[in-house]
Structure 1
Amino acid sequence: MKEIDVRGLSCPEPVLMLKEALEANKNDTYKILANEAHTVKNLKNFAETHGKKADIKELGAEYEVTVS
């Protein structure tokens, strides 16, 4: 599982980082660390529209999105 840390970044940068990762290796599982609810929503929508599953865990004030 590869980790992508998008905490503190503004959209569309987190989505673009996930896009690049999936283009490099679409079969990997990615753990994305985020701290904004709207970023998590955008990541989930992007992943699902590209045939991936996105699981979200809320960890206090932060989020962990697993895309597989």
Structure 2
Amino acid sequence: MRKLLEVLGFIALLQGVAGLVHEFTDWNWGLVHRFGVLDGYEVYASVALLVFAFALFGVAEAQRPR
């Protein structure tokens, strides 16, 4: 379970950074800008993904290795 949380956290971190890079540099990569429902809220969604990634990392770190 710990590895799964770490992988999901890494993916969320990568997509959050990609969304911010896309907004500030217009490089066309990442998934946040591709969702029409987030039109105009891409920066907020990217920051939320970054916060979610760090929360996943914290939960993964809190789990005891078995």
Q: Which has the greater radius of gyration?
A: 2
Q: Write 1 or 2 for the structure with the bigger share of strand.
A: 1
TM-score normalized with structure 2 length = 0.27
Q: So what's the TM-score if we normalise by structure 1? A: 0.27
